[in-house]
């Protein structure tokens, strides 16, 4: 489009370039339209004295900001359909912030013309402002930090990540109290295990991701997912990034080394593209723990020892090749991947018995094809298809012939090999998974659209016990293990009031078929097939309120079908439960948020909300000190409140943020195995936790394009019981104490080509004794350094 400039603008455009850029200033403002103007299509352009242009991004409140400008005179141009364009001449001074209110009038004089190109909201911002019950976690800063993805996500409201040790240890992601497979995980909309990251969410390298979308209790139909507590979508790319590459290297305490490499190349604006990634992790996890070890007389006495058999190694590669903007496809690609990990097992569930040889390993590989095409049926129809296959092999070996002590010494010879149970184990299981998904979106009118999704998934699992070979007996791991699920959904979106109000109503259908054999004592095999069908529905409402307040209300009657590990076990510590039933839940959320409320005292942001989860046939992991299994708890209820607040001082040199989550998560079943514990909190789940962070930043510290920041993060978690709270006397209950931890980081970044960054970070600064599960001690104080480069 064309915008006219007054004659003064011509003089400014011809002003000499500013030589010294060591001292800089900021420009910020807000755009307001004349009556009848279409603010949703507003555009802003900044013309620099050197003649270059910038297109500041507008947020939901039509605010914009440009940082790091050289002192001088600038031209600011604004355009809103339905209003006349306007131009402003502004002066930016060194070390100061210039505020501009761009109010478009009905008419201005036009003399000179210049081309203006507006900038749309980013994909993450669009998602956050949608009607969906989603919180978007941008990872731009996290990619410079040494904390892993589990630690980064646990700093957000409603999210808790419990771990059994250091890097590579088993983890449990909890969202509003729901955890495990009740929360589904995706990479770019594809199930995580089918996208080359079967190692668990917490171990996915942060530097391979752009942002994380956390869907709370209400999941859009496009995922084709049977989630009960919500979904987490890891976004590695929006598909519009230019050619480039990034590298990260990290080293830290306890023998921890991590590295990642990612890159992509596009042949022009359309045509061929190639993307790839690789990562590698190594950790000894030999941090100090407090245990009870036997002395010379065989008596148990307190001791502080390093973990000696807790090593972890992992690595993976992925390659994607495709084409863009072709007559047969808007985007067509094929991705192949492979990962491998190996983990030593240090102790039993409650860290009372050390292991010296037991270990597990996992590898996965597969391929994924994606296709999308828009512009069909006069531009109203868009189709997307996904198809993929993966194989996952799990190897578990427990053949120790000696009893190990906490000092790593092999002592008494065992009568029978094996540390975890009463019998040795040397077994492998392999799982084949196939996924297909078709998604269609049709625009009914300018304000209404329909979306349909259909996603079948088939999983089959087999295994082999090396110790059963040659015995003439049928191997229990050869029992049939087949699971077919089908999830479909239809949703209708309606926008009213020029988009200020948006509503999405949907229905979902769930089908499960499980064909399996139960292994009974004596080597007897019995059929244990299962079939079920369920129907779900829900609605999401979003509304823009005065003063920049965003309100969201959502509800879903959700169903979650048991997963393969829950039904069939994991081949290591989780036992099979072939009678496990699907769980259902009424999920509701209400949230109010303000993203950027600017005042003379700085910029404020905040949110407050509540959630309710009313579940039947709720599935939890329960067990003893050696093994666990998944069980239906008949009924459970989770009620909670979340709140967050943040403040950025004028000049953007200090950021303060805090959040708190309280959840009341209880067993409400009045019959069955756990009826005696009706009203108790669900065991082993935190119910109160909070986070605080502060960050200081100084720009142009050494160079005009660099910055340095100092950050502090703190996390508090209240104490909770390991078992049912009404069982036994309080003084003898096993519980996890309340804990408070702090981290400190120093980061330096130099913008340019390439952009270079370095971070020095201390986790658990006070060396506090921390536990996520009863008895299992987490790492103490650790020091890490990380280097990054973006080309």
CA–CA gap between residue 550 and residue 536 (Å, rounded): 27
Give the pLDDT score at 651: 87
For residue 367, what are its two tokens?
A: 């391929």
Using pLDDT thresholds of 50, 70 and 90, give the confidence band for residue 457: very high
Give the pLDDT score at 35: 65
* Tens digit of each residue's pLDDT (9 = 90 or more) over 755-781: 999 999 999 999 999 998 888 999 999
* Tens digit of each residue's pLDDT (9 = 90 or more) over 319-331: 999 999 888 999 9
Given a cut of 60, is residue 551 above it in pLDDT?
A: yes
Instruction: State the fold for domain 123-235.
Output: Ferric Hydroxamate Uptake Protein; Chain A, domain 1 (2.170.130)
Count of CB atoms within 10 A of residue 748's CB? 16
CA–CA gap between residue 730 and residue 533 (Å, rounded): 43
Given a cut of 60, is residue 250 above it in pLDDT?
A: yes
* Residues 267/255, Cβ–Cβ less than 8 Å: no
Give the pLDDT score at 3: 38
* Tens digit of each residue's pLDDT (9 = 90 or more) over 254-263: 999 999 999 9
Give the pLDDT score at 269: 66
Give the pLDDT score at 444: 95
Contacts of 336 (CB under 8 A, 6+ apart): 318, 319, 320, 365, 366, 367, 368
Instruction: State the fold for domain 244-790.
Output: Maltoporin; Chain A (2.40.170)
Given a cut of 90, is residue 72 above it in pLDDT?
A: no
Of all helices (H) and strands (E), which one includes residue 125?
A: helix 123-128
* Residues 631/675, Cβ–Cβ less than 8 Å: no
Give the pLDDT score at 746: 97
Percent of the chain past pLDDT 90, that is, above it, reads 53
Given a cut of 60, is residue 15 above it in pLDDT?
A: no
Q: What are the φ/ψ torsions at residue 233 (nearest 5 degrees)?
A: -110, 115
At 127, is the secondary structure helix, strand, or coil?
helix
Given a cut of 60, is residue 667 above it in pLDDT?
A: yes
Domain ranges of the chain: 2-115, 123-235, 244-790
Q: Which of 300-304, 424-428, 432-436, 464-468 has the least mean pLDDT?
A: 464-468
What's the mean pLDDT in 361-379? 92
Give the pLDDT score at 23: 60
Q: Which of 15-29, 131-145, 221-235, 468-482 has the least mean pLDDT?
A: 15-29
Give the pLDDT score at 605: 95
Q: Please, what's the b/e burial string for 106-145 (b: 16 or more CB within 10 A of its CB; e: otherwise)? A: eebeeeeebebebeeebbbbebbbbbbbbbbbebebbbbb
Which DSSP string do the residues of 562-587 spell out, in sequence order? PPHHHHH--SSSBPP-TTPPPEEEEE
What does pTM read for this prediction? 0.81
Q: CB-based burial of residue 493 (10 Å sphere; 0-12 exposed, 13-18 middle, 19+ buried)?
A: buried
Residue that is written with structure tokens 């039509």 in the block? 62
Using pLDDT thresholds of 50, 70 and 90, give the confidence band for residue 313: very high
Neighbouring-strand partners of residue 89: 75
Q: What are the φ/ψ torsions at residue 143 (nearest 5 degrees)?
A: -65, -20
**Using alpha carbons only, how large is the chain's radius of gyration in Å?**
28
Please provide the CATH number assigned to the domain covering 2-115. Answer: 2.60.40.1120
Give the pLDDT score at 17: 36
At 425, is the secondary structure helix, strand, or coil?
strand
Count of CB atoms within 10 A of residue 616's CB? 17
* E strand residue ranges, 600-653: 602-616, 619-623, 628-632, 635-648
Distance of CA 175 to the CA centre of its chain: 11
């Amino acid at each position: 489009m064309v915008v006219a400039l007054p004659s003064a603008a011509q003089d400014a455009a011809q002003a000499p370039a500013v030589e010294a850029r060591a001292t800089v200033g900021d420009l910020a403002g807000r755009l307001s339209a004349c009556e009848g103007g279409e603010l949703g299509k507003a555009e802003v352009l900044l013309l620099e004295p050197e003649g270059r242009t910038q297109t500041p991004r507008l947020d939901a409140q039509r605010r914009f900001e440009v940082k790091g400008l050289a002192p001088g005179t600038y031209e600011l141009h604004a355009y809103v359909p339905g209003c006349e364009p306007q131009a402003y001449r502004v002066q930016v001074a060194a070390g100061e912030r210039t505020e501009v209110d761009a109010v478009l009038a009905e008419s201005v004089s036009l003399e000179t013309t210049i081309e203006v190109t507006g900038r749309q909201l980013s994909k993450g911002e669009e998602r956050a402002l949608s009607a969906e019950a989603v919180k978007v976690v941008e990872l731009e800063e996290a990619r410079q930090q040494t904390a892993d993805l589990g630690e980064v996500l646990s700093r957000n409201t409603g999210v808790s990540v419990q771990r059994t040790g250091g890097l590579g240890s088993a983890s449990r992601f909890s969202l509003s109290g729901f955890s495990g497979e009740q929360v589904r995980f995706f990479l770019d909309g594809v199930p995580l295990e089918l996208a080359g990251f079967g190692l668990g969410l917490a171990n996915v390298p942060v530097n391979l991701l752009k942002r994380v979308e956390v869907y709370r209790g209400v999941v859009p139909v496009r995922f084709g997912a049977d989630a009960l507590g919500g979904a987490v979508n890891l976004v590695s790319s929006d598909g519009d990034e230019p050619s480039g590459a990034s590298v990260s290297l990290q080293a830290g305490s306890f023998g921890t080394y991590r590295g990642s490499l990612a890159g992509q190349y596009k042949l022009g604006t359309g045509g061929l593209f190639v993307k790839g990634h690789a990562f590698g992790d190594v950790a000894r996890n030999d941090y100090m723990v407090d245990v009870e070890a036997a002395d010379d007389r065989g008596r148990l006495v307190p001791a502080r020892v390093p973990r000696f058999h807790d090593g972890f190694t992992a690595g993976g590669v992925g390659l994607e090749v495709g084409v863009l903007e072709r007559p047969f496809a808007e985007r067509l690609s094929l991705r192949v991947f492979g990962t491998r990990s190996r983990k030593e097992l240090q102790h039993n569930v409650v860290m009372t018995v050390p292991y010296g040889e037991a270990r597990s390993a996992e590898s996965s590989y597969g391929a994924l094809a994606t296709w999308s095409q828009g512009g069909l049926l006069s531009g109203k129809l868009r189709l997307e298809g996904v198809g993929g296959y993966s194989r996952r092999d799990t190897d578990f070996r427990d053949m120790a012939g000696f009893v190990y002590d906490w000092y790593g010494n092999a002592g008494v010879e065992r009568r029978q090999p094996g540390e975890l149970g009463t019998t040795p184990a040397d077994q492998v299981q392999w799982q084949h998974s196939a996924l297909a998904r078709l998604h269609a979106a049709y625009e009914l009118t300018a304000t209404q659209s329909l979306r349909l999704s259909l996603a079948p998934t088939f999983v089959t699992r087999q295994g082999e016990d090396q110790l059963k070979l040659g015995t003439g007996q049928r191997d229990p791991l050869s029992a049939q293990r087949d699971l077919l699920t089908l999830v479909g959904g239809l949703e209708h979106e309606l926008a009213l009031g020029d988009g200020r109000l948006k509503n999405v109503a949907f229905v979902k259908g769930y089908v499960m078929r499980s064909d399996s054999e139960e292994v009974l004592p004596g080597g007897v095999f019995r059929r244990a097939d299962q079939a079920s069908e369920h129907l779900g529905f829900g609605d999401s409402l979003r509304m823009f309120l005065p003063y920049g307040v965003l309100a969201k209300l959502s509800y879903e009657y959700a169903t979650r079908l048991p997963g393969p590990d829950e039904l069939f076990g994991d081949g290591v510590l989780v036992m099979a439960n072939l009678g496990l039933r699907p769980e259902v839940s009424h999920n509701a959320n209400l949230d109010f948020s303000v993203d950027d409320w600017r005042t003379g005292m700085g910029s404020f942001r905040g949110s407050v909300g509540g959630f309710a989860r009313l579940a039947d046939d709720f599935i939890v992991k329960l067990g003893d000190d050696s093994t666990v299994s998944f069980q239906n708890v008949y009924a459970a209820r989770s009620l909670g409140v979340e709140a967050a607040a943040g403040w950025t001082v004028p000049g953007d040199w200090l950021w303060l943020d805090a959040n708190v989550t309280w959840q009341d998560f209880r067993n409400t079943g009045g019959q069955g195995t756990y009826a005696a514990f009706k009203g108790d909190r669900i065991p082993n789940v935190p119910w109160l936790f909070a986070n605080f962070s502060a960050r200081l930043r100084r720009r142009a510290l050494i160079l005009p394009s660099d910055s340095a920041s100092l950050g502090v993060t703190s996390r508090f978690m209240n104490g909770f019981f390991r078992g049912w709270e009404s069982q036994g006397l309080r003084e003898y209950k096993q519980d996890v104490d309340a804990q408070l931890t702090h981290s400190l980081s120093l980061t330096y970044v130099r913008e340019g080509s390439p952009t270079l960054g370095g971070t020095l970070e201390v986790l658990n600064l006070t060396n506090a004794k921390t536990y996520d599960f009863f008895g299992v001690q987490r790492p103490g104080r650790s020091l890490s350094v990380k280097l990054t480069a973006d080309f």
